[in-house]
Structure 1
Amino acid sequence: MKICLRCQAALGDDGWRCLACGYQPPLVAGYPAFAPELAASNEGYDAAYYGDLYALEARNYWFRARNALLTWALRKYFPAARNFLEIGCGTGFVLAGIAGAMPQLAIHASEISSGGLPYAASRVPQAELFQMDARAIPYAEHFDIIGLFDVLEHIEDDVLVVAQARRALRRRGGLMITVPQHRFLWSQYDEHAHHVRRYGARELERKVLAAGFRIVMMTSFVSLVLPLMILSRFMRRAPAADFDVLAELRVGRAANFLLESVLALERALITIGARFPAGGSLLLIAQRD
Protein backbone atom coordinates (compact mmCIF):
# COMPACT_ATOMS: atom_id res chain seq x y z
CA MET A 1 0.00 0.00 0.00
CA LYS A 2 0.98 3.61 -0.44
CA ILE A 3 1.70 5.54 2.73
CA CYS A 4 1.92 9.23 3.58
CA LEU A 5 5.48 10.11 4.55
CA ARG A 6 4.25 13.01 6.67
CA CYS A 7 1.77 11.19 8.95
CA GLN A 8 2.29 7.52 7.95
CA ALA A 9 -1.41 7.05 7.11
CA ALA A 10 -2.37 4.49 4.48
CA LEU A 11 -3.36 6.00 1.13
CA GLY A 12 -5.73 4.84 -1.57
CA ASP A 13 -4.53 3.45 -4.87
CA ASP A 14 -5.35 6.62 -6.81
CA GLY A 15 -3.02 9.55 -6.34
CA TRP A 16 -0.86 10.64 -3.42
CA ARG A 17 -3.07 13.08 -1.54
CA CYS A 18 -3.40 12.08 2.12
CA LEU A 19 -6.96 12.35 3.42
CA ALA A 20 -5.70 12.18 7.01
CA CYS A 21 -3.33 15.17 7.00
CA GLY A 22 -3.94 16.78 3.60
CA TYR A 23 -0.36 16.40 2.40
CA GLN A 24 0.35 15.83 -1.27
CA PRO A 25 3.89 15.63 -2.66
CA PRO A 26 4.72 18.41 -5.11
CA LEU A 27 5.60 17.77 -8.73
CA VAL A 28 9.18 18.39 -9.83
CA ALA A 29 9.79 18.18 -13.58
CA GLY A 30 6.35 16.58 -13.83
CA TYR A 31 7.02 13.75 -11.36
CA PRO A 32 5.85 13.30 -7.74
CA ALA A 33 8.71 14.42 -5.50
CA PHE A 34 8.95 12.89 -2.02
CA ALA A 35 12.24 14.64 -1.22
CA PRO A 36 12.02 17.80 -3.35
CA GLU A 37 14.86 19.45 -1.44
CA LEU A 38 17.21 16.83 -2.96
CA ALA A 39 15.76 16.76 -6.47
CA ALA A 40 18.15 19.27 -8.02
CA SER A 41 21.27 18.78 -5.91
CA ASN A 42 22.45 16.13 -3.45
CA GLU A 43 25.66 14.56 -2.18
CA GLY A 44 25.03 11.09 -3.60
CA TYR A 45 25.22 11.67 -7.34
CA ASP A 46 26.26 14.31 -9.87
CA ALA A 47 23.27 14.87 -12.17
CA ALA A 48 25.56 16.30 -14.85
CA TYR A 49 26.47 12.75 -15.91
CA TYR A 50 22.98 11.56 -16.89
CA GLY A 51 23.28 12.55 -20.54
CA ASP A 52 26.71 10.96 -20.97
CA LEU A 53 25.61 7.75 -19.26
CA TYR A 54 22.48 7.57 -21.38
CA ALA A 55 24.66 7.65 -24.50
CA LEU A 56 27.21 5.10 -23.20
CA GLU A 57 25.21 2.43 -21.38
CA ALA A 58 23.56 0.62 -24.28
CA ARG A 59 26.86 -0.24 -25.94
CA ASN A 60 29.22 -0.60 -22.97
CA TYR A 61 30.22 -4.15 -22.01
CA TRP A 62 29.88 -3.61 -18.24
CA PHE A 63 26.33 -2.27 -18.32
CA ARG A 64 25.23 -4.88 -20.86
CA ALA A 65 26.76 -7.73 -18.86
CA ARG A 66 25.22 -6.53 -15.60
CA ASN A 67 21.79 -6.31 -17.26
CA ALA A 68 22.09 -9.84 -18.59
CA LEU A 69 23.04 -11.16 -15.14
CA LEU A 70 20.21 -9.30 -13.42
CA THR A 71 17.52 -10.41 -15.86
CA TRP A 72 18.71 -14.02 -15.51
CA ALA A 73 18.53 -13.77 -11.70
CA LEU A 74 15.13 -12.12 -11.78
CA ARG A 75 13.60 -14.83 -13.97
CA LYS A 76 15.25 -17.65 -12.01
CA TYR A 77 14.45 -16.57 -8.47
CA PHE A 78 11.23 -14.55 -8.86
CA PRO A 79 9.40 -15.86 -11.95
CA ALA A 80 5.93 -15.23 -10.50
CA ALA A 81 6.53 -11.60 -9.50
CA ARG A 82 3.82 -9.13 -10.44
CA ASN A 83 5.43 -5.80 -9.66
CA PHE A 84 8.90 -4.35 -9.26
CA LEU A 85 10.47 -1.21 -7.80
CA GLU A 86 13.94 -0.03 -8.77
CA ILE A 87 15.38 2.41 -6.27
CA GLY A 88 17.89 4.70 -7.96
CA CYS A 89 17.00 3.94 -11.56
CA GLY A 90 19.38 6.48 -13.10
CA THR A 91 18.65 6.75 -16.82
CA GLY A 92 16.52 3.60 -16.86
CA PHE A 93 18.93 1.21 -18.58
CA VAL A 94 18.45 -1.63 -16.07
CA LEU A 95 14.76 -0.83 -15.87
CA ALA A 96 14.39 -1.26 -19.63
CA GLY A 97 16.18 -4.60 -19.50
CA ILE A 98 13.90 -5.86 -16.76
CA ALA A 99 10.75 -4.59 -18.47
CA GLY A 100 11.79 -6.39 -21.64
CA ALA A 101 12.67 -9.64 -19.88
CA MET A 102 9.50 -9.78 -17.75
CA PRO A 103 6.76 -7.83 -19.53
CA GLN A 104 4.14 -8.96 -17.01
CA LEU A 105 5.70 -6.78 -14.30
CA ALA A 106 4.13 -3.50 -13.24
CA ILE A 107 7.23 -1.30 -13.25
CA HIS A 108 7.91 1.42 -10.68
CA ALA A 109 11.14 3.36 -10.27
CA SER A 110 12.62 6.23 -8.29
CA GLU A 111 15.64 8.47 -8.55
CA ILE A 112 16.91 11.00 -6.03
CA SER A 113 17.76 13.53 -8.77
CA SER A 114 14.76 14.44 -10.88
CA GLY A 115 17.05 15.00 -13.88
CA GLY A 116 17.35 11.26 -14.46
CA LEU A 117 13.62 10.57 -14.69
CA PRO A 118 13.00 11.89 -18.24
CA TYR A 119 15.74 9.57 -19.50
CA ALA A 120 14.14 6.63 -17.71
CA ALA A 121 10.72 7.58 -19.07
CA SER A 122 12.06 7.56 -22.62
CA ARG A 123 13.28 3.99 -22.15
CA VAL A 124 10.33 2.63 -20.16
CA PRO A 125 7.32 4.83 -20.90
CA GLN A 126 4.93 2.53 -19.03
CA ALA A 127 6.85 2.87 -15.74
CA GLU A 128 5.46 4.79 -12.77
CA LEU A 129 8.33 7.15 -11.93
CA PHE A 130 8.89 9.43 -8.95
CA GLN A 131 11.63 11.35 -7.16
CA MET A 132 12.52 9.86 -3.78
CA ASP A 133 15.12 9.63 -1.05
CA ALA A 134 15.82 5.90 -0.58
CA ARG A 135 15.84 6.45 3.19
CA ALA A 136 12.09 7.21 3.13
CA ILE A 137 10.03 4.98 0.82
CA PRO A 138 6.31 5.85 0.55
CA TYR A 139 5.12 2.22 0.43
CA ALA A 140 4.52 -0.62 2.88
CA GLU A 141 4.12 -4.31 1.99
CA HIS A 142 3.50 -3.42 -1.64
CA PHE A 143 6.18 -4.83 -3.96
CA ASP A 144 7.12 -8.35 -4.99
CA ILE A 145 10.69 -7.30 -5.84
CA ILE A 146 12.87 -4.30 -5.08
CA GLY A 147 16.16 -3.65 -6.87
CA LEU A 148 19.08 -1.55 -5.59
CA PHE A 149 21.63 -1.66 -8.39
CA ASP A 150 24.85 0.20 -7.56
CA VAL A 151 22.99 2.53 -5.23
CA LEU A 152 23.87 1.62 -1.63
CA GLU A 153 27.51 2.68 -2.02
CA HIS A 154 26.32 6.27 -2.53
CA ILE A 155 24.40 6.42 0.78
CA GLU A 156 25.93 6.83 4.22
CA ASP A 157 23.03 5.17 6.06
CA ASP A 158 22.76 2.04 3.93
CA VAL A 159 21.28 0.09 6.86
CA LEU A 160 18.25 2.40 6.89
CA VAL A 161 17.78 1.97 3.14
CA VAL A 162 17.72 -1.83 3.42
CA ALA A 163 15.25 -1.58 6.31
CA GLN A 164 13.02 0.72 4.25
CA ALA A 165 13.16 -1.74 1.35
CA ARG A 166 12.04 -4.53 3.67
CA ARG A 167 9.06 -2.48 4.82
CA ALA A 168 8.06 -1.80 1.20
CA LEU A 169 8.17 -5.50 0.25
CA ARG A 170 5.38 -8.00 0.63
CA ARG A 171 6.04 -11.09 2.76
CA ARG A 172 8.38 -13.41 0.86
CA GLY A 173 9.21 -10.51 -1.45
CA GLY A 174 12.62 -10.39 -3.09
CA LEU A 175 15.50 -7.95 -2.75
CA MET A 176 18.18 -7.70 -5.47
CA ILE A 177 21.36 -5.73 -4.76
CA THR A 178 24.53 -5.01 -6.69
CA VAL A 179 27.41 -3.03 -5.20
CA PRO A 180 31.07 -2.35 -5.99
CA GLN A 181 33.30 -4.75 -4.09
CA HIS A 182 36.68 -4.85 -2.33
CA ARG A 183 38.07 -1.97 -0.32
CA PHE A 184 41.49 -2.44 -1.91
CA LEU A 185 39.97 -1.28 -5.21
CA TRP A 186 39.12 2.14 -3.78
CA SER A 187 40.42 4.74 -6.24
CA GLN A 188 39.84 8.14 -7.78
CA TYR A 189 36.92 6.60 -9.62
CA ASP A 190 35.07 5.97 -6.34
CA GLU A 191 35.81 9.45 -5.06
CA HIS A 192 34.54 11.15 -8.20
CA ALA A 193 31.51 8.84 -8.41
CA HIS A 194 30.45 10.00 -4.92
CA HIS A 195 30.86 6.56 -3.35
CA VAL A 196 31.11 6.39 0.42
CA ARG A 197 32.29 2.76 0.48
CA ARG A 198 33.14 -0.36 -1.47
CA TYR A 199 31.72 -3.49 0.13
CA GLY A 200 33.07 -6.72 1.45
CA ALA A 201 30.80 -9.72 0.94
CA ARG A 202 30.45 -10.40 4.67
CA GLU A 203 29.60 -6.75 5.35
CA LEU A 204 26.74 -6.70 2.85
CA GLU A 205 25.49 -10.10 3.99
CA ARG A 206 25.49 -9.00 7.63
CA LYS A 207 23.53 -5.83 6.93
CA VAL A 208 20.90 -7.61 4.83
CA LEU A 209 20.44 -10.40 7.40
CA ALA A 210 20.11 -7.85 10.22
CA ALA A 211 17.26 -6.16 8.34
CA GLY A 212 15.21 -9.37 8.38
CA PHE A 213 16.05 -11.03 5.08
CA ARG A 214 17.14 -14.54 4.15
CA ILE A 215 20.05 -14.75 1.70
CA VAL A 216 19.08 -16.73 -1.40
CA MET A 217 22.22 -16.28 -3.49
CA MET A 218 25.38 -14.22 -3.46
CA THR A 219 28.28 -14.09 -5.89
CA SER A 220 30.96 -11.76 -7.11
CA PHE A 221 30.86 -10.78 -10.75
CA VAL A 222 33.21 -8.92 -13.08
CA SER A 223 35.55 -11.59 -11.73
CA LEU A 224 37.31 -12.92 -14.81
CA VAL A 225 38.45 -9.42 -15.76
CA LEU A 226 39.39 -8.36 -12.22
CA PRO A 227 43.15 -8.19 -13.00
CA LEU A 228 42.44 -5.75 -15.83
CA MET A 229 40.23 -3.70 -13.53
CA ILE A 230 43.01 -3.49 -10.94
CA LEU A 231 45.48 -2.29 -13.56
CA SER A 232 43.00 0.23 -14.93
CA ARG A 233 42.27 1.71 -11.51
CA PHE A 234 45.82 2.10 -10.29
CA MET A 235 47.79 2.86 -13.44
CA ARG A 236 45.51 5.69 -14.54
CA ARG A 237 45.85 8.43 -11.96
CA ALA A 238 45.32 12.08 -12.79
CA PRO A 239 45.12 15.38 -10.93
CA ALA A 240 41.69 15.69 -9.36
CA ALA A 241 40.70 18.56 -11.64
CA ASP A 242 41.52 16.53 -14.76
CA PHE A 243 40.03 13.18 -13.74
CA ASP A 244 37.29 11.85 -16.06
CA VAL A 245 35.03 9.45 -14.16
CA LEU A 246 33.56 8.13 -17.43
CA ALA A 247 36.89 7.44 -19.15
CA GLU A 248 36.96 3.73 -18.30
CA LEU A 249 33.54 3.32 -19.90
CA ARG A 250 34.77 4.64 -23.24
CA VAL A 251 36.16 1.36 -24.56
CA GLY A 252 37.10 0.66 -28.17
CA ARG A 253 34.83 -1.61 -30.19
CA ALA A 254 37.18 -4.62 -30.26
CA ALA A 255 38.02 -4.42 -26.56
CA ASN A 256 34.36 -3.93 -25.70
CA PHE A 257 33.41 -7.07 -27.65
CA LEU A 258 36.16 -9.11 -26.02
CA LEU A 259 35.31 -7.97 -22.49
CA GLU A 260 31.61 -8.61 -23.00
CA SER A 261 32.41 -12.10 -24.30
CA VAL A 262 34.50 -12.87 -21.21
CA LEU A 263 31.69 -11.69 -18.94
CA ALA A 264 29.20 -13.79 -20.92
CA LEU A 265 31.35 -16.83 -20.10
CA GLU A 266 31.43 -15.75 -16.46
CA ARG A 267 27.64 -15.43 -16.45
CA ALA A 268 27.25 -18.88 -18.00
CA LEU A 269 29.31 -20.32 -15.16
CA ILE A 270 27.16 -18.50 -12.58
CA THR A 271 23.96 -19.83 -14.15
CA ILE A 272 25.18 -23.43 -13.70
CA GLY A 273 26.11 -22.88 -10.07
CA ALA A 274 29.55 -21.27 -9.94
CA ARG A 275 30.01 -18.63 -7.24
CA PHE A 276 33.01 -16.34 -7.50
CA PRO A 277 34.74 -15.23 -4.27
CA ALA A 278 36.28 -12.09 -5.77
CA GLY A 279 35.29 -9.59 -8.43
CA GLY A 280 34.76 -5.93 -9.12
CA SER A 281 31.10 -6.18 -8.12
CA LEU A 282 28.86 -8.21 -5.85
CA LEU A 283 25.35 -9.54 -6.51
CA LEU A 284 23.10 -10.47 -3.59
CA ILE A 285 19.61 -11.97 -3.85
CA ALA A 286 17.52 -12.08 -0.67
CA GLN A 287 13.96 -12.77 0.43
CA ARG A 288 11.98 -11.06 3.13
CA ASP A 289 11.10 -13.36 6.03
Structure 2
Amino acid sequence: MTSGGYDPEHFGKLFALEAASFWFRGRSDLINWALDRNFPAAKSFLELGCGTGYVISRIREVHPDWRLVGTELFEEGLAKARIRMPSGVELRQQDATQSPYDSEFDVVGAFDVIEHVENAPAVLAGMYKAVKPGGGLLITVPQHKWLWSEADVAAHHVKRYTKRELTDELRAAGFEVSRVASFVSLLLPAMMASRLLKKDAGNVEEELDMAAPLNKACYGVMRLESALVRAGLNFPVGGSLLAIARRPA
Protein backbone atom coordinates (compact mmCIF):
# COMPACT_ATOMS: atom_id res chain seq x y z
CA MET A 1 0.00 0.00 0.00
CA THR A 2 1.24 3.49 -0.79
CA SER A 3 -0.16 6.75 0.51
CA GLY A 4 1.01 10.30 0.96
CA GLY A 5 3.87 9.84 -1.50
CA TYR A 6 5.59 6.97 0.29
CA ASP A 7 5.45 3.18 0.52
CA PRO A 8 5.37 2.14 4.21
CA GLU A 9 6.84 -1.25 3.32
CA HIS A 10 10.21 0.53 3.03
CA PHE A 11 10.38 1.27 6.77
CA GLY A 12 11.57 -2.22 7.68
CA LYS A 13 14.41 -1.99 5.17
CA LEU A 14 15.34 1.49 6.36
CA PHE A 15 15.37 0.45 10.00
CA ALA A 16 17.85 -2.33 9.22
CA LEU A 17 20.04 -0.10 7.05
CA GLU A 18 20.20 3.42 8.51
CA ALA A 19 22.53 3.07 11.50
CA ALA A 20 25.35 1.57 9.39
CA SER A 21 24.77 3.37 6.08
CA PHE A 22 27.30 6.02 5.09
CA TRP A 23 24.54 8.21 3.63
CA PHE A 24 22.24 8.26 6.65
CA ARG A 25 25.17 8.64 9.04
CA GLY A 26 26.74 11.40 6.97
CA ARG A 27 23.47 13.29 6.60
CA SER A 28 22.80 13.09 10.36
CA ASP A 29 26.33 14.29 11.14
CA LEU A 30 25.65 17.36 8.99
CA ILE A 31 22.22 17.95 10.55
CA ASN A 32 23.60 17.78 14.09
CA TRP A 33 26.37 20.21 13.20
CA ALA A 34 23.94 22.65 11.57
CA LEU A 35 21.61 22.43 14.55
CA ASP A 36 24.27 23.20 17.15
CA ARG A 37 26.17 25.72 15.03
CA ASN A 38 23.17 27.83 14.08
CA PHE A 39 20.82 27.40 17.05
CA PRO A 40 23.04 26.97 20.12
CA ALA A 41 20.34 28.14 22.57
CA ALA A 42 17.76 25.60 21.39
CA LYS A 43 16.03 23.35 23.93
CA SER A 44 13.26 21.83 21.82
CA PHE A 45 13.05 20.24 18.39
CA LEU A 46 10.22 18.97 16.17
CA GLU A 47 10.88 16.62 13.25
CA LEU A 48 8.13 16.19 10.65
CA GLY A 49 8.17 12.89 8.79
CA CYS A 50 10.54 11.26 11.28
CA GLY A 51 10.19 7.79 9.72
CA THR A 52 11.93 5.18 11.86
CA GLY A 53 13.38 7.88 14.13
CA TYR A 54 17.03 7.67 13.11
CA VAL A 55 17.70 11.41 12.81
CA ILE A 56 15.92 12.38 15.99
CA SER A 57 17.60 9.52 17.88
CA ARG A 58 20.98 10.97 16.87
CA ILE A 59 19.88 14.38 18.15
CA ARG A 60 18.74 12.74 21.39
CA GLU A 61 22.22 11.25 21.90
CA VAL A 62 23.67 14.77 21.96
CA HIS A 63 20.76 16.52 23.68
CA PRO A 64 19.00 14.07 26.03
CA ASP A 65 17.56 16.97 28.04
CA TRP A 66 15.70 18.58 25.12
CA ARG A 67 12.01 18.26 24.36
CA LEU A 68 12.05 16.12 21.22
CA VAL A 69 8.94 15.41 19.15
CA GLY A 70 8.74 13.27 16.02
CA THR A 71 5.68 13.08 13.79
CA GLU A 72 5.06 10.55 11.03
CA LEU A 73 2.12 9.78 8.75
CA PHE A 74 2.62 6.03 8.86
CA GLU A 75 2.23 3.82 11.91
CA GLU A 76 4.74 1.41 10.34
CA GLY A 77 7.46 4.05 10.74
CA LEU A 78 6.43 4.97 14.27
CA ALA A 79 6.52 1.32 15.33
CA LYS A 80 10.19 1.16 14.33
CA ALA A 81 10.88 4.52 16.00
CA ARG A 82 9.45 3.19 19.28
CA ILE A 83 11.87 0.27 19.11
CA ARG A 84 14.75 2.64 18.48
CA MET A 85 13.65 5.08 21.21
CA PRO A 86 11.45 3.38 23.82
CA SER A 87 11.38 6.58 25.89
CA GLY A 88 12.49 10.20 25.87
CA VAL A 89 10.93 11.27 22.56
CA GLU A 90 7.30 12.16 21.91
CA LEU A 91 6.09 10.27 18.82
CA ARG A 92 2.85 11.17 17.11
CA GLN A 93 1.02 9.98 14.01
CA GLN A 94 0.29 13.04 11.92
CA ASP A 95 0.02 14.30 8.36
CA ALA A 96 2.92 16.70 7.72
CA THR A 97 0.54 19.13 6.00
CA GLN A 98 -1.65 19.43 9.12
CA SER A 99 0.60 20.47 11.99
CA PRO A 100 -1.31 21.37 15.19
CA TYR A 101 1.59 23.20 16.85
CA ASP A 102 1.72 26.96 17.38
CA SER A 103 5.03 28.65 18.27
CA GLU A 104 6.12 25.68 20.43
CA PHE A 105 9.60 24.69 19.23
CA ASP A 106 13.02 26.32 19.06
CA VAL A 107 13.85 24.41 15.87
CA VAL A 108 11.81 22.37 13.40
CA GLY A 109 13.12 20.00 10.76
CA ALA A 110 12.06 17.79 7.87
CA PHE A 111 14.67 15.58 6.24
CA ASP A 112 13.94 14.22 2.77
CA VAL A 113 10.22 14.69 3.33
CA ILE A 114 8.78 17.56 1.28
CA GLU A 115 9.87 16.06 -2.04
CA HIS A 116 7.29 13.32 -1.35
CA VAL A 117 4.42 15.79 -0.86
CA GLU A 118 2.37 17.38 -3.62
CA ASN A 119 1.51 20.31 -1.36
CA ALA A 120 4.98 21.07 0.00
CA PRO A 121 4.03 24.72 0.77
CA ALA A 122 1.46 23.43 3.29
CA VAL A 123 4.21 21.50 5.09
CA LEU A 124 6.43 24.58 5.21
CA ALA A 125 3.54 26.74 6.41
CA GLY A 126 2.95 24.30 9.26
CA MET A 127 6.63 24.35 10.16
CA TYR A 128 6.59 28.15 10.19
CA LYS A 129 3.62 28.08 12.56
CA ALA A 130 5.18 25.42 14.81
CA VAL A 131 8.52 27.19 15.37
CA LYS A 132 8.83 30.07 17.82
CA PRO A 133 9.47 33.58 16.47
CA GLY A 134 13.24 33.79 16.10
CA GLY A 135 13.46 29.99 15.97
CA GLY A 136 15.09 27.89 13.28
CA LEU A 137 14.39 25.49 10.48
CA LEU A 138 16.55 22.74 8.99
CA ILE A 139 15.50 20.85 5.88
CA THR A 140 17.06 18.46 3.39
CA VAL A 141 15.84 17.54 -0.10
CA PRO A 142 17.24 15.75 -3.16
CA GLN A 143 18.93 18.10 -5.63
CA HIS A 144 19.09 18.47 -9.43
CA LYS A 145 16.27 17.65 -11.80
CA TRP A 146 18.76 16.05 -14.18
CA LEU A 147 19.44 13.36 -11.57
CA TRP A 148 15.83 12.16 -11.79
CA SER A 149 15.78 8.38 -12.29
CA GLU A 150 13.82 5.23 -11.59
CA ALA A 151 15.13 5.43 -8.01
CA ASP A 152 13.10 8.63 -7.56
CA VAL A 153 10.04 6.91 -8.99
CA ALA A 154 10.52 3.96 -6.64
CA ALA A 155 10.89 6.36 -3.70
CA HIS A 156 7.64 8.15 -4.69
CA HIS A 157 9.34 11.51 -5.09
CA VAL A 158 7.28 14.34 -6.53
CA LYS A 159 10.35 16.36 -7.52
CA ARG A 160 14.05 17.05 -7.06
CA TYR A 161 14.91 20.62 -6.08
CA THR A 162 17.20 23.34 -7.32
CA LYS A 163 18.73 25.75 -4.81
CA ARG A 164 16.54 28.54 -6.16
CA GLU A 165 13.35 26.51 -5.89
CA LEU A 166 14.03 25.53 -2.28
CA THR A 167 15.00 29.09 -1.34
CA ASP A 168 11.88 30.50 -2.99
CA GLU A 169 9.56 28.02 -1.24
CA LEU A 170 11.11 28.78 2.16
CA ARG A 171 10.84 32.53 1.63
CA ALA A 172 7.25 32.18 0.44
CA ALA A 173 6.48 30.44 3.74
CA GLY A 174 7.93 33.43 5.62
CA PHE A 175 11.38 32.12 6.55
CA GLU A 176 14.62 34.08 6.32
CA VAL A 177 17.09 31.77 4.58
CA SER A 178 20.61 31.72 6.02
CA ARG A 179 22.23 29.11 3.80
CA VAL A 180 21.40 26.46 1.23
CA ALA A 181 24.32 24.05 0.82
CA SER A 182 24.85 21.09 -1.48
CA PHE A 183 26.10 17.82 -0.03
CA VAL A 184 26.81 14.35 -1.41
CA SER A 185 28.99 16.37 -3.76
CA LEU A 186 32.28 14.46 -3.76
CA LEU A 187 30.35 11.24 -4.32
CA LEU A 188 28.18 12.75 -7.05
CA PRO A 189 30.02 10.99 -9.94
CA ALA A 190 29.30 7.63 -8.32
CA MET A 191 25.71 8.65 -7.71
CA MET A 192 25.33 9.73 -11.33
CA ALA A 193 26.66 6.39 -12.50
CA SER A 194 24.21 4.56 -10.28
CA ARG A 195 21.20 6.72 -11.14
CA LEU A 196 21.75 7.51 -14.80
CA LEU A 197 23.56 4.50 -16.23
CA LYS A 198 21.45 1.83 -14.56
CA LYS A 199 18.12 2.12 -16.29
CA ASP A 200 16.67 -0.61 -14.07
CA ALA A 201 17.77 1.10 -10.81
CA GLY A 202 15.72 0.04 -7.81
CA ASN A 203 14.86 1.93 -4.66
CA VAL A 204 17.26 3.92 -2.52
CA GLU A 205 17.55 1.19 0.12
CA GLU A 206 18.86 -1.25 -2.48
CA GLU A 207 21.27 1.38 -3.83
CA LEU A 208 22.73 2.05 -0.37
CA ASP A 209 22.93 -1.56 0.76
CA MET A 210 26.59 -2.15 -0.12
CA ALA A 211 29.58 -4.14 1.08
CA ALA A 212 31.06 -2.95 4.38
CA PRO A 213 34.46 -1.84 3.00
CA LEU A 214 32.83 0.29 0.29
CA ASN A 215 30.35 1.71 2.78
CA LYS A 216 33.22 2.64 5.11
CA ALA A 217 35.11 4.34 2.29
CA CYS A 218 32.02 6.33 1.27
CA TYR A 219 31.51 7.45 4.86
CA GLY A 220 35.08 8.69 4.93
CA VAL A 221 34.38 10.78 1.84
CA MET A 222 31.20 12.13 3.45
CA ARG A 223 33.18 13.11 6.57
CA LEU A 224 35.72 14.99 4.46
CA GLU A 225 32.94 16.72 2.56
CA SER A 226 31.18 17.65 5.80
CA ALA A 227 34.37 19.26 7.09
CA LEU A 228 34.56 21.38 3.94
CA VAL A 229 30.90 22.42 4.26
CA ARG A 230 31.47 23.35 7.90
CA ALA A 231 34.45 25.44 6.84
CA GLY A 232 32.17 27.45 4.57
CA LEU A 233 32.75 25.83 1.19
CA ASN A 234 29.66 25.89 -1.03
CA PHE A 235 29.76 23.09 -3.56
CA PRO A 236 28.13 24.03 -6.88
CA VAL A 237 26.49 20.61 -7.24
CA GLY A 238 25.46 17.71 -5.05
CA GLY A 239 22.99 14.91 -4.65
CA SER A 240 21.17 16.72 -1.82
CA LEU A 241 20.57 20.14 -0.34
CA LEU A 242 20.62 21.30 3.28
CA ALA A 243 18.75 24.53 4.04
CA ILE A 244 19.16 26.57 7.22
CA ALA A 245 16.53 29.23 7.87
CA ARG A 246 14.85 31.18 10.64
CA ARG A 247 11.40 32.51 11.43
CA PRO A 248 11.74 36.27 11.94
CA ALA A 249 11.55 37.33 15.59
Normalization by structure 1: what TM-score?
0.83
Instruction: Answer with 1 or 2: which has the greater Rg.
Output: 1
Q: State the AA in 2 paired with 1:140.
A: D
Q: How far apart, in 1, do the equivalents of 2:9 and 2:164 lie?
A: 33
Aligned partner of 2:53 in structure 1 is 92
Give the match's secondary structure for 1:259: helix
- Conserved? CA contact 1:41–1:113, under 8 Å: no
Aligned partner of 1:223 in structure 2 is 185
Match of 2:3 among 13, 36, 42: 42
Aligned partner of 1:139 in structure 2 is 101
Aligned partner of 1:262 in structure 2 is 221
Shift of 1:270: 1.0
Per-residue CA deviation, residues 84-104 of structure 1 (Å, 9 max, x unaligned), is: 110000101101111112223
Shift of 1:216: 1.5
Per-residue CA deviation, residues 224-262 of structure 1 (Å, 9 max, x unaligned), is: 0101100011222229xxx45422111111111111101
Give the match's secondary structure for 1:137: coil
Give the match's secondary structure for 1:246: helix
Aligned partner of 2:28 in structure 1 is 67
Map 1:1-289 onto structure 2 (within 5 A): 42-124=3-85, 125-238=87-200, 243-289=202-248
Q: State the AA in 2 paired with 1:159.
A: P
Q: State the AA in 2 paired with 1:250.
A: D
Shift of 1:144: 0.7
RMSD between superposed Cα atoms in Å? 1.3
Normalization by structure 2: what TM-score?
0.96
Q: How far apart, in 2, do the equivalents of 1:99 and 1:111 lie?
A: 17
Q: How far apart, in 2, do the equivalents of 1:90 and 1:48 lie?
A: 12
CA distance 1:245–1:218, shift in 2 (3 Å):
closer
My pick for the range that moved more, 160-169 or 120-129, is 120-129
Per-residue CA deviation, residues 43-70 of structure 1 (Å, 9 max, x unaligned), is: 3111111111100111110001001111
Q: How far apart, in 2, do the equivalents of 1:200 and 1:80 lie?
A: 30
Give the match's secondary structure for 1:43: coil
- Conserved? CA contact 1:219–1:283, under 8 Å: yes
Q: How far apart, in 2, do the equivalents of 1:106 and 1:43 lie?
A: 27
- Conserved? CA contact 1:143–1:168, under 8 Å: yes
Q: State the AA in 2 paired with 1:233.
A: R
- Conserved? CA contact 1:75–1:102, under 8 Å: no
Q: How far apart, in 2, do the equivalents of 1:105 and 1:48 lie?
A: 31
Segments of 5+ residues of structure 1 without an aligned counterpart are 1-39
Q: State the AA in 2 paired with 1:264.
A: R
Q: How far apart, in 1, do the equivalents of 2:47 and 2:205 lie?
A: 23
Identity %: 45
Q: State the AA in 2 paired with 1:188.
A: E
Higher RCO (CA < 8 A, seq sep 6+): 2
Q: How far apart, in 2, do the equivalents of 1:42 and 1:167 lie?
A: 25
Q: How far apart, in 2, do the equivalents of 1:41 and 1:255 lie?
A: 32
Q: State the AA in 1 paired with 2:217.
A: L
Q: State the AA in 1 paired with 2:206.
A: A
Shift of 1:152: 0.4
